């Protein structure tokens, strides 16, 4: 049986009372109406206790009606969609909603962990730093788990999020943040002037405080029961984003917003995201974010049933809910008197208006008389009721005390402008003495603030300031707005007389109820020397967590000011940073998760390789074929077969992922002389050459081969990993360092499909592809030759006689669109010659057998000398890295340089990353002489082999060293040798 | 942050990569007396508060190297020009 909505005010408010929706809270079946929030529906059902506090597990209720809520945090939904720390005040009610209270065990009403309250003296300000310091060993095993168990917020689901999130961009002339009276008025004024406007509001309904207050706007009555009227002619260009929080302001008029597209639904509709992240680029922005009402701090002010006076009006007027039947009002301002009137007009009882202002208020006295309430000059100093307010104790000005039975205590200490967005770029708020609040200070370029966010109080003033800001923003975008229709707001307001806290009360007086920070904690911090609000925040946790102190920061600053005997305006406040309210990681990630975390690049032979059953490996963004296993083959057997087949017959491998850069211009050769350590000017047309590039600090950056296709045309290859970096480096050299050279470079990586065909039969395979009349005999097309040919009936192909494997080999390139066809043609042509494809694993084995440096050796810490290429460094020309590369220390023999390693036991794998120490020496850092970079099993040598960087390495061939891998727990002996394990003289290349 | 590329117009920050100070001049590597200048060029940078000329690469756009004058305090972009002079 669903609970009855005992506190629903029939006929009141903007919710659709004709339609009933069901929801569950802590397993209890309840009902509400469309238009409710979870908070308003709970209150309608008479539920005031909704959670337990962070440290002391004190019972907590609902303080606010908005996103600033510190207390009413719940776990929303179940299973993979469970979302902890969700503010009940912003959750839009839907049929089937499930929520659970947090931070209680075993149940909300009987929370055994509330025993923490007894340990309260231990949990004061800075308790993390003090109480649990000793003994140190207890921290990890005892204190930390204990604190985490007892203190904490909700729990995440720990399952993958089943929903999707997306990101989008928007551009506008004027961005209006907040759709209250000021925001609506600003958007209208800007749009009427012709500006493209985006209007965002975090709420699901537009209107802001207009939804919560009764009163007339332009002759039409406001809430309850009336929705804001749509303008007769819709504005020319105004995009309205509801459920959209602008949470950050960034440089150059960039704003970030999150739109909760589907959070108000049980499950997102098919193909719809749960949330959408907006990047909005606005020429002008108007912050109309409203204001936060601030509490007055007094003893036991955290009991359920203590609620901000403005929130009480919201629940009564907007949601048609009585937050209590018997109310007491405790406020230091006349604006809060509307709460008494609205409660009384809704048929509820107002027991008393307690006025702490020394001078009192005639208006308050009048409202009290009109609503049948007592008017008491004094303060609230105690609140009783274990799970909600039952009785409040009032101390009057004469020192007399009395108790009043009530179930709702509406409090107000004034209003703080929601100026958070104005400070995200470093702006400092300014203290306004007469309003007793911080108001926006210097604003970033292109930003305006209007309405309550700039300290306006009345609806008329908000409408007028919004209109003026909207017109001003449109004007700054080059439009001509019409003259304002509303008079400028009257800025003469009675100075506020704020009451921050009640000193005389007993019981813990909470400044920040989300973090259980009491007045005593702030005072303790002050006694311990903390004077800056940002420091007090870190020490006491005041203003941390999901609400970032929206209802507590200024009270904390005021108490700090008092405790340190300073003027509040000089103490200031904490720094507001993005995000304004919590943003889910999912929204920030968008579609970039799982395999979509970054783009996947496929090689031209990918589909063909899939058909062959290839196993793929991620190399950067590329998917490359790792190997082509046959049935019943182990991975090692596959690699051994692919290597052996290539060395005995012929193999083919897709090398399209290598970076390919086209270099053209009359100074192309001179340019290459500048970027490689070795010379290219004398390279003949039709020839290719290996080259090494350094960084300007003398360390190796990348290597590859460059072929001269014509006098002024070169074709460079880079390693797969560095393709983008080298391309950017060349552009830097060309545009910044040597702009006088006539040269252009462009990446052609994706334009060319390229295959390595290697092995004794490689020539026969290539020859079979060539159209007739073309000669690639060893004389006509020797080692390191390059040229353009026609293959397969007229397809243009570039042929390079290059070898990474050490065998007679060619690289053949065709425009990428022929890539799939070419691999199939190569396989067909090679069938008669014993061809088999090989993957990157076999490619790696063969390059290690040949001692070619690759990624593990080009690790950013090696020089040309270290790689055994020191003699390639030209002495005659300028090139990048020349000067610092010649530094003595980078060339001394003691540096670790490239060697080969052969384990004494050929069956023992030498692990990459292992360190080398002298045989018989201890495996300690002091004995370290180098490290293993690459290792493989060499089918040709029938032994494991490795490449290593060894101090004075080239002079130590034949020496036996200990290879230590403490990480994997292995030690083995290996002999130092030349890195060229196979065909050291390169005879196979040249046949 | 937004940068107005002379070729491509106003673009989002993610399209660009930062390199650093645009005012440092590469010494002559064939002049043996430039050791200090080289250390200065490669390793040492000023850290001014205020307008700063710096190199940005428009990698997700036209690939031009740009000389951007940026206020390091306010992040305001004061000027954008091609790093290649005479363009
Ligand atoms: Zn560009």
The predicted structure's pLDDT at residue A109: 77
Q: Which of A980, A841, A861, A842 is nearest to A931 (CA)?
A: A861
Q: CA distances (Å), A192 to each of A217, A481, A488, A566, in order?
A: 20, 7, 19, 48
Which of A250, A253, A882 lies nearest to residue B29, judging by beta carbons?
A882
Which chain A residue has its CA at the smallest distance from B2's CA? A252
Which chain A residue has its CA at the smallest distance from B58's CA? A728
DSSP result, A715-745: EEEE-STTHHHHHHHHHHIIIII-TTS--EE
Chain B residues with beta carbon closer than 8 angstroms to that of A251: 1-2, 75-76
Residue A90: pLDDT above 90?
A: yes
Note whether A884 contacts B76, CB cutoff 8 Å: no
The neighbour count for residue A878, using CB atoms within 10 Å, is: 16
Contact A452, A287 (CB under 8 A): no
- CA A100–ligand 1 middle distance (angstroms): 52
Residue A226: pLDDT above 60?
A: no
Spans in chain B with pLDDT lower than 50: none
Note whether A735 contacts B29, CB cutoff 8 Å: no
What pLDDT, in 10s, does the model give residues A786-814?
999 999 999 999 999 999 999 999 999 99
pLDDT tier for residue A224 given thresholds of 50, 70 and 90 = very low
The predicted structure's pLDDT at residue A136: 62
Chain B residues with beta carbon closer than 8 angstroms to that of A696: 26, 41-42
Note whether A732 contacts B65, CB cutoff 8 Å: yes
Structure tokens at A666: 């009359």
Domains and CATH numbers, chain A: 21-110 (3.10.20.440), 165-291+417-477 (3.50.50.60), 602-656+751-838 (3.30.1360.120), 659-747 (3.30.70.1400), 893-989 (2.40.30.110)
Taking the Cβ of residue B82 and every Cβ of chain A, the question of whether any pair is shorter than 8 Å is answered with yes
Average pLDDT over residues A471-500: 87
Note whether A879 contacts B29, CB cutoff 8 Å: yes
- CA B45–ligand 1 middle distance (angstroms): 26
Report yes or no on whether pTM surpasses 0.80: yes
Label the pairing between strands B2-5 and A915-918: unpaired
Torsion of CA A145, A146, A148, A153, to 10 degrees: 150
Taking the Cβ of residue B2 and every Cβ of chain A, the question of whether any pair is shorter than 8 Å is answered with yes
- CA A683–ligand 1 middle distance (angstroms): 34
Taking the Cβ of residue B75 and every Cβ of chain A, the question of whether any pair is shorter than 8 Å is answered with yes
* Rounded distance between C-alpha atoms, residue A89 and residue A70, angstroms: 10
Which chain B residue has its CA at the smallest distance from A254's CA? B1
pLDDT tier for residue A132 given thresholds of 50, 70 and 90 = low
Residue listed under structure tokens 């243009």: A796
Taking the Cβ of residue B27 and every Cβ of chain A, the question of whether any pair is shorter than 8 Å is answered with yes
Taking the Cβ of residue A725 and every Cβ of chain B, the question of whether any pair is shorter than 8 Å is answered with no
**Burial class, A464, CB count within 10 angstroms (exposed 0-12 / middle 13-18 / buried 19+):** buried
Give the rounded percent of residues in chain A with a pLDDT score beyond 90. Answer: 87
The predicted structure's pLDDT at residue A599: 94
The predicted structure's pLDDT at residue A285: 98
Residue A419: pLDDT above 90?
A: yes
What pLDDT, in 10s, does the model give residues A62-73?
999 999 999 999
Average pLDDT over residues A649-674: 98
Note whether A736 contacts B27, CB cutoff 8 Å: no
Contact A321, A346 (CB under 8 A): no
Domains and CATH numbers, chain B: 2-82 (3.30.2270.10)
The predicted structure's pLDDT at residue A120: 67
Which chain B residue has its CA at the smallest distance from A426's CA? B74
Note whether B38 contacts A878, CB cutoff 8 Å: no
pLDDT tier for residue A121 given thresholds of 50, 70 and 90 = low
The predicted structure's pLDDT at residue A223: 46
Q: Is the dihedral of CA A246, A248, A249, A253 positive or negative?
A: negative
Give A882→chain B minimum CA distance, Å. 7
Structure tokens at A119: 């340990």
* Rounded distance between C-alpha atoms, residue A99 and residue A702, angstroms: 57
Residue listed under structure tokens 């449109």: A474
Residue A142: pLDDT above 70?
A: no
Note whether A252 contacts B2, CB cutoff 8 Å: yes
What are the backbone dihedrals phi and psi of residue A408, each rounded to the nearest 5 degrees, phi first?
-145, 125
Q: Which of A960, A972, A957, A958 is nearest to A923 (CA)?
A: A972
* Rounded distance between C-alpha atoms, residue A253 and residue A809, angstroms: 57
The predicted structure's pLDDT at residue A115: 66
Chain A residues with beta carbon closer than 8 angstroms to that of B42: 696-697, 884
Which of A169, A279, A697 lies nearest to residue B42, judging by beta carbons?
A697
- CA B16–ligand 1 middle distance (angstroms): 9
Helix or strand (DSSP H, E) at A306: strand A306-308
Note whether A732 contacts B17, CB cutoff 8 Å: no
What pLDDT, in 10s, does the model give residues A908-965?
999 999 999 999 999 999 999 999 999 999 999 999 999 999 999 999 999 999 999 9
Contact A322, A62 (CB under 8 A): no
Contact A947, A849 (CB under 8 A): no
* Rounded distance between C-alpha atoms, residue A833 and residue A828, angstroms: 10
The predicted structure's pLDDT at residue A2: 47
- CA A739–ligand 1 middle distance (angstroms): 18
The predicted structure's pLDDT at residue A836: 98
pLDDT tier for residue A573 given thresholds of 50, 70 and 90 = confident
What pLDDT, in 10s, does the model give residues A317-367?
999 999 999 999 999 999 999 999 999 999 999 999 999 999 999 999 999
Give B28→chain A minimum CA distance, Å. 8
Taking the Cβ of residue B14 and every Cβ of chain A, the question of whether any pair is shorter than 8 Å is answered with no
Note whether A883 contacts B17, CB cutoff 8 Å: no
Residue A290: pLDDT above 50?
A: yes
Taking the Cβ of residue A279 and every Cβ of chain B, the question of whether any pair is shorter than 8 Å is answered with yes
Note whether A736 contacts B65, CB cutoff 8 Å: yes
Label the pairing between strands A408-412 and A401-405: unpaired
The predicted structure's pLDDT at residue A230: 55
Residue A522: pLDDT above 60?
A: yes
Taking the Cβ of residue B38 and every Cβ of chain A, the question of whether any pair is shorter than 8 Å is answered with yes
Give A592→chain B minimum CA distance, Å. 15
Which residues make up the environment of ion ligand 1, defined by Cβ < 5 Å? B 5, 7-8, 58, 61-62
Chain B residues with beta carbon closer than 8 angstroms to that of A279: 12
The residue of B5, B19, B24, B26 whose CB has the most chain A CBs within 10 angstroms, and thus the best one to mutate to test that interface, is: B26
Give A889→chain B minimum CA distance, Å. 14
A189-203, A500-514, A624-638, A909-923: least confident range: A500-514
Taking the Cβ of residue A250 and every Cβ of chain B, the question of whether any pair is shorter than 8 Å is answered with yes
Mean pLDDT over each residue of chain A, to the nearest integer: 93
Taking the Cβ of residue B28 and every Cβ of chain A, the question of whether any pair is shorter than 8 Å is answered with yes
Which of A254, A697, A724 lies nearest to residue B2, judging by beta carbons?
A254
Q: Which residues lie across from A22 on neighbouring strands? A: A31
Chain A residues with beta carbon closer than 8 angstroms to that of B28: 878
Average pLDDT over residues A540-550: 92
Residue A842: pLDDT above 70?
A: yes
Give a three-class secondary structure readout of A756-804. EEECCCHHHHHHHHECCCCCCCCCCCCCCEEEEEEECCCEEEEEECCCC
Residue A225: pLDDT above 60?
A: no
- ipTM comes to 0.98
pLDDT tier for residue A217 given thresholds of 50, 70 and 90 = confident
Which chain A residue has its CA at the smallest distance from B41's CA? A696
Give the rounded percent of residues in chain A with a pLDDT score beyond 70. Answer: 94
The residue of A736, A875, A887 whose CB has the most chain B CBs within 10 angstroms, and thus the best one to mutate to test that interface, is: A736
Give B48→chain A minimum CA distance, Å. 18
Residue A227: pLDDT above 60?
A: no
The predicted structure's pLDDT at residue A127: 66
The residue of A278, A280, A879, A883 whose CB has the most chain B CBs within 10 angstroms, and thus the best one to mutate to test that interface, is: A883
- CA A248–ligand 1 middle distance (angstroms): 27
Half-sphere exposure of residue A531: CA atoms within 13 angstroms, side-chain side: 7
Contact A224, A27 (CB under 8 A): no
Give A696→chain B minimum CA distance, Å. 7
- CA B63–ligand 1 middle distance (angstroms): 6
Q: CA distances (Å), A712 to each of A668, A685, A708, A749, A796, in order?
A: 6, 9, 8, 20, 20
DSSP result, A358-405: TT--HHHHHHHHHHT-EEEEEEEEEEE-SSS--EEEEEETTS-EEEEE
Which chain B residue has its CA at the smallest distance from A745's CA? B63
The predicted structure's pLDDT at residue A490: 67
Give A483→chain B minimum CA distance, Å. 32
The predicted structure's pLDDT at residue A403: 97
Label the pairing between strands A896-903 and A943-951: antiparallel
Which of B55, B63, B75 lies nearest to residue A736, judging by beta carbons?
B55
Question: Cis bond leading into A106, ω under 30°?
Answer: yes
């Amino acid at each position: 049986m669903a609970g009855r909505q005992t506190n629903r005010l029939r006929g009141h408010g903007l919710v659709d009372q004709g339609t009933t929706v069901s929801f569950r809270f802590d397993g209890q079946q309840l009902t509400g109406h469309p238009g409710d929030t979870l908070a308003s529906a709970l209150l309608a059902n008479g539920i005031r206790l909704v959670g337990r506090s962070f440290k002391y597990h004190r019972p907590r209720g609902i303080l606010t009606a908005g996103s600033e809520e510190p207390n009413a945090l719940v776990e929303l939904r179940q299973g993979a969609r469970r979302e902890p720390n969700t503010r009940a005040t912003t959750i839009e009610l839907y049929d089937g909603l499930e929520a659970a209270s947090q931070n209680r065990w075993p149940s909300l009403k009987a929370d055994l962990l509330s025993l923490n309250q007894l340990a309260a003296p231990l949990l004061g300000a800075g308790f993390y730093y003090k109480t649990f310091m000793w003994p140190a060993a207890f921290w990890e095993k005892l204190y930390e788990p204990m604190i985490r168990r007892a203190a904490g917020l909700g729990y995440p689901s720990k399952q993958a999020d089943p929903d999707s999130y997306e990101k989008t961009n928007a551009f506008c002339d004027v961005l209006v943040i907040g759709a209250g009276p000021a925001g609506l008025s600003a958007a209208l004024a800007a749009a009427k002037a012709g500006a493209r406007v985006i209007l965002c509001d975090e709420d699901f309904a537009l209107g802001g405080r207009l939804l919560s207050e009764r009163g007339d706007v332009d002759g039409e009555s406001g809430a309850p029961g009336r929705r804001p009227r749509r303008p007769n002619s819709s504005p020319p260009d105004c995009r309205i984003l509801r459920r959209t929080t602008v949470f950050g302001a960034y440089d150059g008029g960039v704003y970030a917003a999150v739109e909760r597209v589907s959070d108000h639904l049980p499950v997102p509709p098919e193909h719809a995201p749960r949330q959408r992240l907006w990047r909005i680029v606005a020429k002008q922005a108007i912050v109309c974010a409203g204001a936060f009402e601030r509490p007055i701090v007094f003893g036991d002010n955290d009991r359920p049933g203590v609620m901000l006076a403005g929130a009480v009006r919201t629940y009564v007027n907007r949601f048609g809910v009585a937050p209590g039947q018997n109310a007491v009002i405790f406020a230091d301002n006349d604006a809060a008197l509307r709460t008494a009137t609205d409660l009384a007009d809704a048929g509820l009882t107002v027991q008393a208006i307690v006025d702490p202002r020394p001078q009192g208020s005639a208006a308050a006295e009048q409202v009290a008389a009109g609503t049948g309430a007592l008017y008491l000059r004094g303060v609230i100093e105690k609140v009783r009721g274990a799970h909600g307010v039952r009785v409040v104790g009032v101390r009057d000005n004469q020192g007399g005390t009395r108790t009043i039975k009530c179930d709702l205590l509406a409090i107000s200490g004034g209003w703080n402008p929601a100026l958070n967005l104005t400070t995200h770029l470093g702006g400092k708020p300014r203290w306004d003495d007469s309003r007793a609040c911080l108001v926006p200070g210097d604003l970033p370029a292109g930003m305006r603030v209007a309405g309550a966010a700039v300290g306006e109080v009345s609806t008329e003033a908000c409408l007028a300031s919004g209109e003026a800001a909207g017109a001003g923003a449109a004007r700054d975008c080059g439009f001509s707005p019409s003259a304002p229709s509303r008079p400028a707001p009257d800025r003469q307001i009675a100075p506020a007389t704020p009451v921050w806290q009640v000193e005389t009360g007993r019981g813990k007086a909470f400044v920040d109820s989300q973090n259980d920070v009491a007045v005593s904690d702030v005072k303790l911090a002050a006694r311990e020397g903390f004077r800056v609000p940002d420091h007090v925040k870190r020490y006491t946790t005041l203003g941390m967590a999901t609400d970032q102190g929206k209802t507590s920061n200024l009270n904390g600053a005021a108490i700090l000011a008092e405790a340190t005997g300073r003027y509040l305006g000089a103490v200031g406040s904490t720094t507001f940073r993005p995000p304004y309210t919590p943003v889910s990681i999912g929204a920030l990630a968008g579609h970039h998760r799982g395999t979509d975390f970054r783009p996947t690049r496929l090689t031209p032979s990918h589909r063909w390789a899939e058909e062959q059953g290839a196993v793929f490996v991620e190399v950067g963004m590329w998917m490359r074929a790792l190997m082509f296993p046959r049935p019943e083959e182990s991975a090692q057997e596959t690699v051994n077969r692919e290597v052996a087949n290539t060395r005995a017959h012929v193999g083919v491998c897709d090398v399209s992922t290598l970076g390919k850069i086209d270099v053209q211009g009359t100074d192309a050769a001179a340019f290459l002389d500048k970027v490689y350590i070795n010379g290219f000017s004398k390279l003949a047309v039709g020839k290719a050459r290996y080259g090494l590039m350094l960084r300007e600090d003398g360390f190796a950056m990348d290597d590859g081969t460059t072929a001269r296709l014509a006098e002024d045309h070169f074709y460079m290859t880079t390693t797969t990993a560095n393709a983008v970096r080298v391309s950017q480096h060349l552009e830097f050299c060309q545009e910044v360092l040597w702009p006088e050279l006539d040269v252009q470079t462009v990446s052609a990586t994706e334009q060319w499909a390229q295959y390595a065909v290697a092995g004794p039969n490689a020539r026969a395979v290539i020859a079979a592809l060539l159209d007739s009349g073309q000669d690639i005999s060893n004389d006509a097309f020797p080692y390191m030759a390059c040229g353009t040919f026609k293959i397969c009936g007229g397809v243009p192909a570039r042929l390079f006689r290059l070898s990474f494997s050490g065998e007679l080999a060619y690289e053949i390139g065709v425009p990428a669109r022929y890539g799939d066809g070419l691999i199939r043609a190569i396989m067909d042509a090679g069938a008669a010659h014993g061809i088999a494809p090989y993957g990157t694993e076999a490619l790696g084995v063969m390059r290690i057998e040949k001692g070619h440096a690759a990624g593990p050796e080009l690790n950013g810490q090696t020089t040309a000398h270290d790689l055994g290429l020191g003699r390639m460094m030209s002495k005659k020309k300028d090139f990048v890295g020349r000067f610092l590369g010649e530094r003595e220390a980078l060339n001394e023999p003691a540096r670790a340089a490239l060697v080969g390693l052969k384990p004494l036991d050929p069956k023992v794998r030498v692990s990459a990353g292992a360190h080398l120490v002298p045989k018989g020496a201890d495996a300690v850092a002091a004995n370290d002489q180098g490290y293993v970079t690459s290792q493989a099993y060499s089918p040709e040598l029938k032994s494991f082999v490795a490449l290593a960087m060894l101090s004075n390495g080239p002079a130590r061939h034949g020496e036996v060293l200990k290879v230590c891998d403490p990480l994997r727990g292995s030690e083995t002996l290996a002999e130092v040798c030349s890195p060229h394990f196979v065909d050291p003289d390169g005879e196979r290349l040249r046949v | 942050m937004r940068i107005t590329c002379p070729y491509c117009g106003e673009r989002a920050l993610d399209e660009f990569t930062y390199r650093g100070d645009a005012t440092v001049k590469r010494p002559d590597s064939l002049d043996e007396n430039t050791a200090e200048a080289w250390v200065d060029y490669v390793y040492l940078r000023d850290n001014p508060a205020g307008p700063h000329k710096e190199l940005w690469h428009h990698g997700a756009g036209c690939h031009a190297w740009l000389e951007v004058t940026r206020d390091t305090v306010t992040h305001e972009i004061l000027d954008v020009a091609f790093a290649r002079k005479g363009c």
